Amino acid sequence: MSEAYTGLAQSLRTMMRVGENTASNIARTQVDGARETRISVNAPATDIGGNGAGGSALSITGMSTDTRQGALASSDSPTDLALAGGGYFLLFDQSGNLFMSRNGKFNFNSAGELVNGQGLNVASFDPGTNMINKTTKATVSGSWTNDDHIAFNGDGQLVNLSQGNTPGRQLALARVPNEGALVNSPTYPGMFSASEATGMIQTGRAGETDLGVIVPNAIEQSNISLPDQMVNLATFKGGFTATAAALRVLNSALDDIINQFRPA
């Protein structure tokens, strides 16, 4: 009975984790560039919790990220960018922490820096040093004003239309060997961080090997299907309810056994 109790408790913990992941997916269905995370669980050889003869409980065997591209939606903003193909936009915070995202909904702040909705800087190659730096309105010659109109081409290069169509910095993209091991950032929705299993992250330019091309005036939508997640939620609810009921029955049986040994 102890084995059965332990197995049921473990199964409940597993299903709670699956339910939390499903809820997270549902919350991110409207987050541009978001990707579905999936949890794999084992299939017990016998009934959940075991029957004293080698039974096993539900447990998590792995997590992965669905890397399929989401649908591209058109936009009227010249700073809204999408990636057609592989790769990720590369962004960083004030402390230099790197993040990756398929969400290209960007804008220029008052300092003329290209940022996302959370204030993270969009990375590009500095034409002078070829090092990763902030993306700004400045042209290669260094001139710009706050009122300048800009555009991006398919190579991810900024073009300052107000400065005689002069070129600026080129966006830096991230190449991830094992995309399925990317971790969703709890701080910045739609952002990904590397894990030990992602492999060495490399940077490159649009159109290079394993990197897509920039699609201006477009946004990649979430690849998470709300109907699929609602089905997952219903399945989770049914399994959780049944397991919780079995645990209550077991608790009641244990109480009956204990009461038999209490003094009259």
- Token output for 60: 């998590």
Mean pLDDT by 10 residues, the chain (264 residues): 65 81 88 86 57 58 85 94 95 94 94 94 89 87 84 91 86 93 85 91 92 94 89 74 65 58 60
CA distances from 72 to 32, 77, 82, 156, 199 (A): 10, 14, 7, 17, 28
Closest C-alpha among 113, 132, 115 to residue 124: 132
Q: Can you give the pLDDT at residue 235?
A: 76
Q: Same domain, yes or no, for 86 and 190?
A: yes
Q: Can you give the pLDDT at residue 31?
A: 85
Spatial separation of the C-alpha atoms in residues 119 and 36, rounded to whole Å: 24
Q: Can you give the pLDDT at residue 183?
A: 87
Q: Same domain, yes or no, for 24 and 51?
A: yes
121-125/60-65 β-pairing: unpaired
Q: Given its phi and psi angles, is residue 134 left (phi above 0), alpha (psi -120 to 50 degrees) or beta?
A: beta
Q: Same domain, yes or no, for 158 and 50?
A: no
Farthest CA pair distance, the chain: 97
Check if the beta carbon of residue 180 is closer than 8 Å to that of residue 67.
Answer: yes
Using DSSP's 3-state secondary structure scheme, residue 19 falls into: helix
Q: Same domain, yes or no, for 143 and 202?
A: yes
Q: Can you give the pLDDT at residue 211?
A: 94
Fill in the DSSP letter of residue 17: H
Tell me the residue range of the domain where 21 lies.
2-68+224-260
Q: Can you give the pLDDT at residue 114?
A: 95
Cβ-proximal residues to 39 (8 Å cutoff; 6+ apart), any chain: 17, 18, 21, 60, 62, 63
Q: Same domain, yes or no, for 107 and 48?
A: no
User: What's the pTM value of the predicted model, to 2 decimals?
Assistant: 0.75
What b/e sequence results for 4-25 when a residue is b if at least 16 CB atoms lie within 10 Å of its CB, and e otherwise?
bbebbebbbebbebbbebbebb
Q: Same domain, yes or no, for 132 and 177?
A: yes
Tally the domains of the chain: 2
Torsion of CA 27, 29, 34, 36, to 10 degrees: 90
CA count, 13 A, side-chain hemisphere, 22: 19
Q: Same domain, yes or no, for 6 and 120?
A: no
Q: Same domain, yes or no, for 214 and 228?
A: no
